[in-house]
Structure formats: structure tokens, C-alpha cells
Structure 1
């Protein structure tokens, strides 16, 4: 449950198979059936002011058409979610990092079919064979480093876990094993995106240089650091929701306090975790997808088309996935996006490219059910029925 996951995989199997500025509902300028339908669906999907912290946003062609928030960002002492509350975006960050990597490919800095040894040398297992395209499409074949004996003790519930100690790629590298038959099968891989972040770090000239370049890339989507960031900073602490895990018997475990963190746990977002590098708001996630898929401001058209086209290997695995982008057929519409879950947070955001509409949901509960995904599904269905 603690690992970064693509929680939309369950939704996928079931279905194919400005900022929020009111307490619990959208801002209205007049009667609108879409806003009314989304209000109703949001109220049905969430637990109200005493429930989980939730933000949700719908955008159409660059404009917010609806937004809502509800619940608590922190349980004790109680604090409500606001439009500026930050959430870990977990594996949704794979899509952001993937888009940045493809931006580097557009510039010629990251040839997609050249072995990654060209950038990081040959010490890493598989570096002479694995390519950036394999990392982006989850076909590199790297086993999970989170369960490897060398790294598992460093991670949550491990004997050596310290949520106040920054992680480095060197700490995680011993958990990277030889890839299994690279390029021959689809296997969702957090390890692959940690390696991708390492490759991009080497190309940029270090972590700080990569963070600066990613910041410039996000600025092309209109982001100035308030609603979407991959940089850990003390100023974010007071805006961050706490993540909550299911402790059994209806009890919640505060991920921020259970393991002794004095601030935002160092594994919640940021480098070296390329599988979950970003934190933000629902507005930030929605605006990024809108710029990428609707505004088409971030990548060359051919690159964007390649990003969203599911590979044959992913289709065979019943998880249609391109390069860091998941395809979801839901409510009669074709959505492109990603989901995530880690450290008590879940996220789901996707764009109906034909209609130019993006829906994003973030939530600070990670239980056996996908809270953000379930809310997103209700909102997507309501939008499809009312549009």
C-alpha cells in the first residue's frame, strides 16, 4: 500500500473490461447543467467537511469551468482543505516527468532509442541495453527496488527509515537489479522512473540544475511554483495536507507523524523519486494536462501523439499505456492521463482530448479503495452525461 502505484489500473479494468474558491461547491455565474452535475457527483462521492481532504477541478480549453474542495487537510489539530493546500501527486508525477523527458527528446538531448549508458555510464545494471523509450513505456524490465533487501530497510516501516533524512539516488541504487528481458513485455515499474530521473539529472548537470530546468518547463504550462512543484522547500510545509493510511478498524494512520517526521516526509515528493517527484493542487494538475493535451504548448505534435498512443505490449497486458500516459475509456469518452497513490495520498487526472476537458482530483487518504479514482470516475460520468 505504501508504494507509488497506478491506482487507475483498477478503474481501467472495470471500465474497459484561478483555483477552487468555495467551501464545497463550484463558483457559479449562472445556470449550467455541467456545473450542477459535477456539484451533485462531488457531493455524492466525498464525505463532507468531516471526511478526507479533497480538491477537484474541471477545465475546458484553458479555463476553469468548475471546482470544489471539502474535508480536512490535517486531522489533528483540525485544518480544512483550501484551494492552495498541497498534496503529493504520487505516480501522476510520472506523466509530468515523462512529458519533460519528451521535451528533452524534442531538443535532441535525450535520444529515445539510445542506451542510457550514453548519459550515465555502464555501472548501472542494464544501462548498455535499456533505452529512455523502455523506461517511459514500462518495458525496461527492472524489478521493484522498494522490496529489494538493500533498500527496503530505508523505506517506510523499514528499520532504517528516517522521514527527515533526504534520500539520494546513491541510497537507492543498490536496490536496482538486472532488468528482465528488456523491451519484451509491459510491467509497471517505479524503478524505471527513478532511473529516468537519474538520467535526466545527469543530462542537466545535477539535481539543482534539473529542478531549475523542470521549473522552466512547468512555466510553459503557466505554473510559477504555487500549484505544481518538484522542488522540496521549507515554505511548502504549512500548505501541505497530511497523508493518511488505513490503520484498520476504521482508524487512520497519519503518515506525517507516525514515523517521526518533523515536516513533510522526504519520500513524499522530490528527487530522487522520479516515480513520484511532484506535489501540487488539483488545479495545478489540471492546468498542466490542459497545456499538454489541449493547448499543445509543451511538445511537438508528433511527440505528443506518440506519448499518448498505447504500446502493443501494454494493450496485451490490459493496461493501455503510451509513454508515461495512461488511456482510459470511461463513460463513452477517451481520456488520457495518470493516477497515483503514496504516503496517504491518491490522485487521478485525465483529459478528454476530443472535448478539451480535463478533470483532476487529489485526496489525502490511501486505503484499499482508490479515493481519488472513485471521485474522478463519478465526476467523469457526470460530465459525460451533462455535456
Structure 2
């Protein structure tokens, strides 16, 4: 079912389709409640809570925010504002939400677990596994795709792709043909010669995983990631609907009231690069395993994963100084180092990080989009708040 004409036309006029995100009047009182968790919830830090309260009161800022800090067997949930401006309901750890480019960490997890099983090799190339792709791309390796050093142009910036979305934001794409939008393009640079974040990379990663297993990517996610980590509320839908309850995503363009764009766009146009839907609780469990690695990846694979490119930032940039590895980023803050991924999509901005031992993790979710090209001033404020939360996470 299509959206009403007036809603669709208004959304098309205001919707920001950011490169990385396509991978895309509220009650703003402070709302605080500990998350359900094992162990005894620790007392909340009033200074951290104040920062979230201030964030939702910022002009053009998110209607709501939720941050989950996991330290050992204790979880603290900080939240402010609302998950739904029409009801005033607060954000909850069990709310579904679009995790945007954090989905790239999931495709990385599928690929690296297949490396562990000797189904894939980091030096496997597009030419070997996906010979129907353009010959100009054949030398690109899985390692270069995972590290965003492939040189593949970004399909989500292709004029034909954007034209389709402008006409019908809920268009049902054949996710496995998304690279067709750039099939006439040469590589932007020789593979391995530089870093450039591209949504095309993780589409190719998923296609490689399908090629060597003969299984659909969605089934591989379930077998290799969801079930081992007990992620019961995480999925990769093809349509535009979100499972209920969900954290509503908003376009916030003052002086107009926030506009709900949660279901304006479908997930088929981002697929393995940004289409996953999860919850703060599930995402926190995932990033503990992804950042910690032990028990989830073999030690040699983990070592390869953590060969970092200095200055290679996720999109949007995470807190502190960023460096890029294989579907994982290192964030060096004033208080220490964490590992994970960020993402942005119309209506959502995400951060998911954990410590190297996997014992501590932070997920930080706001329900509006920000990036280096969409509200950069808001992004700077969000990154500063995220760094303070990382400092709280790393406290002994």
C-alpha cells in the first residue's frame, strides 16, 4: 500500500537521502528508567542524563534518544524525549529501529565467520566469485571490500537509483541487482590504494557470501549471527514496514514540527549495506561479540579484522579519532579505545561500540538523521555526548 499523496509529496520534499545512510511538536521532557538486565542496575550519572536532556531540546535535534551501557552483567539505560511524538511514549531497549550502516558490521560478521570456516578467503576476488560483475572490478578482493579500499563507486549516489527513490521512496528493488546501477563505471582508484567509504562494498560482500555457500544472505545472517548471539528481534526486511513496537524516525526541520519518516523508505534499496532492523538490546549484544571477537571469530581472523587504516572514519564519524579495519572501526577517545560501527539513515543515527574484551558495550541511538552533510553541527554535539558516554563505559 502506498502512502497518501500529500504525505509522500511532503516527505519527498524534505527527505534527505544521504550517501552513507542509503547504504537515506514533541514532548521533550526527560524520561529515565533502568533497562531490564541481569544483575543489579547501577545508579545513573546525572551529568550524562542532563546531556541527553539537552540533546533533545536542541533546535533540529532528535525527538528522542536512548543509550545502553553494558558493563559485565549490569546494564544501564539512559533515555530522554520520545520514541513517538504522537503518543509521548519514551524509547525502550526493546524498540525496533533501523540500524543504518551498522548493518555493514553484520555483513562483515557473515564474511569473517565464513573465512573461519574456510568457505571464503580474504584474498578472494570479485572476478573469482562474481565473474558476471564488470571485468574492471575483477581484481577487487574481499579484504578491500571490507576495508572500503576497493574503489567501487557508490551505487546509492547513482542518478538512476536516486531518480527511482524520488519517484517512489518505497520502491521494491531487487537487492541483488543494486550494483547494476554502477555497472558501466570504472573503479574510482586502484584497489587498495586509498580509503573511500562506499555502500557498494557490502553489497558485493553479501553476494560473495551467497556465491560460496549457495544460501541467501538472509539465511546466512540467521545461521552465523542471529542464532549464535540469540538476537531474537533482529531482521533484514525487504519492505518499508517496521516491526512493532518501534522507535519512530523523524525529519526535524524547524520551525515545522518533526515529521515521522520511519516507513517512508523501504530496506531493499540498502540491503546488506544498511537494511537491518534491530533493537538497542540486540544491537548491544551483537557489538559485544563483534568488538570482543573471542569465541565469535578465530584469533587469526580477528587479527586481520583489526589491521586499521589511520584516519579512516565511519559514516558518520564516531567519537574521538577514527581508524578503519575490516567492517569495524576503532574509536580512540580521551578515556580509551572502543571498537564498532556507526550509521545514519533518514530518521536515525546510530553508534554501537564495545571493548576489546567484549565485556563492555555502548549503543547510542537517536531518532533523526545527522552526518557530515546532514546537520553537521548536530553531529558534532552528538559525537561529544557519545565520547562522554564512552568515558562512563570505560570507568572501572
Shorter-normalised TM-score: what interval? Answer: 0.7 to 0.9
Q: Which residue of 1 aligns with 2:266?
A: 266
- Give runs of aligned pairs for residues 178-257 of structure 1, distance below 5 A: 178-180=186-188, 181-205=190-214, 209-219=216-226, 221-226=228-233, 228-232=234-238, 236-249=242-255, 251-256=257-262
Give the superposition deviation at 1:47: 5.0
- Change in Cα spacing, 1:300 to 1:220, as seen in structure 2 (3 Å) is farther
Kindly indicate whether residue 182 of structure 2 is the aligned counterpart of residue 175 of structure 1. yes
Partner SS for 1:240: coil
1:378 to 381, 384, 388: 388
Q: Which runs of 5+ in 2 are unaligned?
A: 1-15, 22-29, 314-320
- Counterpart CA distance in 2 for 1:271 and 1:215 is 20
CA deviation profile, 1:236-281 (whole Å, cap 9, x unmatched): 4322322212334464332246xxx4xxx313xx675222132212
Corresponding residue number in structure 1 for 2:8:
none
Number of matched residues? 351
What's the counterpart of residue 3 of structure 1?
18
CA contact (8 A) 1:59 1:66 kept: yes
Shift of 1:234: 9.0
Q: 1:129 offset after TM fit, Å?
A: 0.7
| Cα offset, 1:381, TM superposition | 2.6
Displacement after TM superposition at 1:147 (Å): 2.0
Query: For residues 110 and 165 of structure 1, what CA distance do their matches in structure 2 show?
Result: 30
8 Å contact 1:59–1:359 — kept in the other structure?
A: yes
- The equivalent position to 1:52 in structure 2, one of 47, 58, 63, is 63
In the superposition, the TM-score normalised over structure 1's length comes to 0.79
Alignment of 1:40-119 (within 5 A): 40-46=47-53, 52-61=63-72, 63-76=73-86, 78-119=88-129
Partner of 1:101, secondary structure, is helix
**Distance of 1:5 and 1:146 partners within structure 2:** 8
Could you tell me which residue of structure 2 aligns to residue 329 of structure 1?
332
SS of the residue aligned with 1:298? coil
Alpha carbons of structure 1 residues 25 and 169: separation in structure 2 relative to 1, 3 Å:
same
CA offsets 1:161-190 (integer angstroms, 9 cap, x no match)? 331535433255223422122111111111
Does 1 or 2 have the higher relative contact order (CA < 8 Å, sep 6+)?
Answer: 1
Contact 1:3 1:342 in 2 (8 A): yes
Q: Which residue of 2 aligns with 1:24?
A: 32
Q: CA deviation at 1:70?
A: 3.4
Tell me if 1:36 matches 2:44: yes
2:99 and 2:274 in contact (8 A); partners too: yes
**8 A contact 1:186–1:313 mirrored in 2:** no
Identify which of 156, 165, 168 aligns with 1:146. Answer: 156
Contact 2:291 2:356 in 1 (8 A): yes
Q: CA separation of 1:124/1:245 partners in 2, compared to 1, >3 Å: closer, same or farther? A: farther
Report the CA distance between 1:93 and its aligned residue: 1.3
TM-score (norm 2): 0.78
Whether contact under 8 Å (1:339, 1:347) holds in the other structure is: yes
2:26 — aligned with what? none
Cα distance in 2, alignment partners of residues 330 and 312 from structure 1: 14
Give the distance between the partners of 2:327 and 2:32, measured in 1 at CA. Answer: 32
Give the RMSD, CA atoms, in angstroms.
Answer: 3.2
Q: Which residue of structure 1 aligns with residue 11 of structure 2?
A: none
Residue in 2 aligned with 1:19? none
